[in-house]
A and B are shown apart, each in its own frame.
Chain A
Amino acid sequence: MGDHGGFEDSAGVNNKLIHWFKYASPQSFYPLAGKLIPWFWALTAVFGIAGLWISFFVAPTDAQQGEGYRIIFVHVPASWMSMFIYIVLATWAGLGLALNTRLSGMMATALAPTGALMAFLSLWTGAFWGKPMWGTWWVWDARLTSELILFFLYLGFIALQAAIDDARRADKAGAILALVGVVNVPIIYFSVKWWNTLHQGSSVSMTKSPSMAQTMLWGMLLMALCFWMYSIAVALMRVRAIILEREAHTEWVKELAEVKS
């Protein structure tokens, strides 16, 4: 019995040490995510309405591309998010490998379909922009090809995880694939500088002032914020479903109000 008491003491100390990681446990993250989701949907709506208003009613007609340039207001946000989500996905995957936390793998898994959707939308809107401006839906140019590879990386990540039954093993295998694929993101971003591409150079640069009208820039930034908030909201929704799926056997899931009802 004395041994048993000692074990409890050390468990207590351990609990204090890991308190900092409180929200890394699916059990405490699940209700937190539930509270955050409506706020991110509200932000999505606010930025979306403002962004669409500027996109269609404030931003002036482009001197060269007429009204066709308005595709930029969905094309650039989708492309940015496809790259940004990949970086976030790889970061969670890497954290999962390093710290062996369960939630990290779930976050990476939850982000993949949204990232794939953003990559698809980037390619789709790009094709619909390329056709009237370049005369072709598709060219094998460095920017387009590397974005297509990003899309396939997402699909590969999803397929690999789906092929492995054990969730923890699926997380590890997916994490390695995600980390190897990170090298593609800077290639996409700098492709228009490194190679002579049909795709135009970046409209917004961190080093020099933007080469576009101020209102166009605002429209693009607001739409990017809308896509960003959307991605967070939908990924949080998905991670909650994944938590329920993976923790179905646990007591805390069985005791949830939504399960009891």
Chain B
Amino acid sequence: MRFLYIALMFFLVACQSDKVQLAFGTVLDSQNYILQTSLDVWAISPEGDSSSEHMRTDLKVASTLTQLIVYDDGSAKYELHLDSVEYSSDKRSVEEVAYMEKYLRTQTFRYKIRSNGIMDTIFPMEEYLAIKGVNDLQLPRLFVKLQPVLPEKNVSIGESWDGAFSDSSSGEYTTVYKTFRLEDVFYRGGLQLAKLSMGVRYRKNEEDESVKLESKDYLVGKGTLLFDMTKGQVFSVDLELTGDLIVDDKLNQTRVPNLKVRQVLKMERQEQE
């Protein structure tokens, strides 16, 4: 009986030791990230033939993310500054592309992240305002999609958790649902990394004076995230997002009933010398 008790205790301790804690670092630090995205959108013709129209845009930004302050509850305030921008779009003129690059380079954002990774508030610097009716890119949206939600308790390999948070970067609230699963924990280059599979889903429903834009169903994304457990930072993340949209062009009083969207996002931390 005593042997069984000891064996049970040993088993419980062994189980506990398989669990890992995923938490953001609390040491003030700056990290450099490269973010790359590509967006393909197809307007499928009613016949579904080769007359479908297509848009392709690519964006690559080098950014510096600085942890400004860590609060007692584990939340922290960050500042995101863009160091360089490369942008291209087949639906914008050369001058507009140049403007967009210049405009993005001037953007700096501050935001607060809770200890589990949920982004609370985005504070655009310099009282930046999205200009209604002007189609400028919204960078915070990209980072919201890639930001992980970390489990509130220790987890073992194979365990899943989920989280949801609001994206209000466009001025309208969208709830983004995310699911995660711890796939592996391993060492690389002196760092302990946790490999997470990530699922994202949300509905798109936006409207202004010119356009009403809604998703037919959930936009769905799948990806992989490497979390640096040593420093408590995102090491890399990739995500592919797909879905169908219906767009009402209110200015021309027409409907685009079938837009297929595919967005690929990759972000990787750059190791400092």
The answer to whether A binds B is no
Residues of A within 8 A of B (CB): none
